[in-house]
């Protein structure tokens, strides 16, 4: 009988007994937190990991724990998701090299930041979390091996808001940090849904995951008091009989990414949203923290976002 994993499972528990020797895996956002642990655990089991980061010096320092693992290999590439110039340069360099990938984990992102814009004028969170990855992943799509997977890091925060295809840059609607975060995280799921539809005939699958609540640099735009208040609000709204919200450790938070990318059957997770090392169920209740909103998995909605994203970045895939 296969072992069942859950919210408290760690990366090493999920990957126990798995040999990734000969596998080539790309992870974005390897300068801190989940990205570092994801890359470390995969390399520890024999994979050659290509880590992407905006700040290479920071990534080199953070990556010392990755390099220290005796198995596998590790290299870094520069990727600033808030700049399409950087995104295209990084993608083009990988394509020129021509080395294929068995797994790509789109882990990097920003959360609940003040209103701002990327180098290309997109709202910061939508531009970085979604559009940057949208262009990068599509430009390297030829490097996905048959049988490979894409794992997009989304969040239960997708429940804050659906995407707004009429006003993606908040030019006419009121900006709220978590509203914008919700839009970008919904976009991460919809991108996975449509990428999966387009590529599954080639044996390439895509999924989106919620890592859980973890104290990492992702929450750097929130004060300690604001973070404590958010936890209090979550627990105050929880239905009777459900457990209180608690933060995961970083190895627990990265576990769902490696579970969906390596351990889970491809047909189980393809085109789905995963959390706590299982496929999430549809859940529309505003009081429950778990589950996925139906709008995030809607196929026609995913196609519309894809078309809008192409329009915004000026590129067809």
Taken in order 8, 13, 18, 24, the sign of the CA dihedral is positive
Q: Tally the domains of the chain.
A: 1
Q: Tell me if 1 is assigned to some domain.
A: no
Q: Tell me if 45 is assigned to some domain.
A: yes
Model confidence pLDDT, tens digit, residues 270-309: 999 999 999 999 998 877 778 999 999 999 999 999 999 9
Q: Tell me if 5 is assigned to some domain.
A: no
Residue 213 banded pLDDT, cuts 50, 70, 90? confident
The answer to whether residue 131 scores a pLDDT higher than 60 is: yes
Cα 312 from Cα 308, distance rounded (Å): 6
Cα 159 from Cα 297, distance rounded (Å): 12
pTM, two decimal places? 0.92
Q: Across residues 5-34, what is the average pLDDT?
A: 97
Q: Tell me if 96 is assigned to some domain.
A: yes
Quote the DSSP letter at residue 260: I
The answer to whether residue 219 scores a pLDDT higher than 60 is: no
- What distance, in Å, lies between the first and last C-alpha atoms of the chain? 42
Q: Tell me if 215 is assigned to some domain.
A: yes
pLDDT at 295: 98
The mean-pLDDT minimum among 84-93, 100-109, 194-203, 209-218 falls in 209-218
Q: Tell me if 64 is assigned to some domain.
A: yes
Instruction: Indicate the average pLDDT of the chain.
Output: 93
Q: Which residues pair with 28 in a beta bridge?
A: 52
The answer to whether residue 1 scores a pLDDT higher than 50 is: no
Residues with a catalytic annotation lie at: 154, 181, 185
Which domain does 70 fall in, by range?
11-312
CATH number of the domain to which 304 belongs: 3.40.50.720
């Amino acid at each position: 009988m296969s072992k069942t994993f859950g919210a408290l499972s760690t990366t090493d528990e999920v990957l126990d007994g798995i040999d990734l020797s000969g596998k080539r895996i790309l992870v974005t956002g390897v300068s801190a937190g989940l990205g570092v642990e994801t890359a470390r655990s995969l390399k520890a089991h024999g994979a050659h990991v290509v880590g992407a980061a905006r700040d290479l010096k920071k990534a080199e320092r953070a990556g010392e724990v990755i390099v220290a693992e005796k198995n596998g290999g590790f290299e870094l590439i520069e990727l600033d998701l808030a700049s399409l110039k950087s995104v295209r340069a990084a993608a083009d360099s990988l394509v020129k090299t021509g080395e294929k990938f068995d797994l790509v984990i789109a882990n990097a992102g920003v959360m609940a930041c003040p209103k701002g814009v990327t180098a290309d004028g997109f709202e910061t969170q939508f531009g970085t979390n979604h559009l940057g990855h949208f262009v990068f992943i599509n430009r390297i799509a030829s490097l996905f091996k048959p049988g490979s997977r894409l794992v997009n890091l989304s969040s239960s925060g997708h429940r804050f808001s659906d995407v707004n295809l009429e006003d993606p840059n908040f030019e006419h609607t009121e900006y709220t940090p978590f509203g914008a975060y919700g839009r970008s995280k919904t976009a991460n799921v919809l991108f996975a849904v449509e990428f999966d539809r387009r590529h599954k005939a080639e044996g390439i699958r895509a999924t989106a995951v919620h890592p859980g609540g973890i104290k990492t640099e992702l929450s750097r735009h929130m004060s300690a008091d604001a973070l404590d208040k958010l936890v209090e609000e979550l627990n105050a709204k929880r239905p009777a009989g459900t457990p209180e919200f608690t933060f995961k450790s970083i190895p627990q938070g990265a576990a769902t990414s490696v579970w969906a990318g390596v351990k889970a059957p491809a047909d189980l997770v393809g085109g789905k949203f995963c959390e706590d090392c299982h496929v999430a169920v549809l859940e529309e209740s505003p009081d429950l923290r778990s589950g996925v909103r139906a709008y995030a998995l809607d196929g026609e909605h995913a196609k519309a976002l894809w078309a809008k994203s192409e329009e915004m970045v000026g590129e067809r895939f």
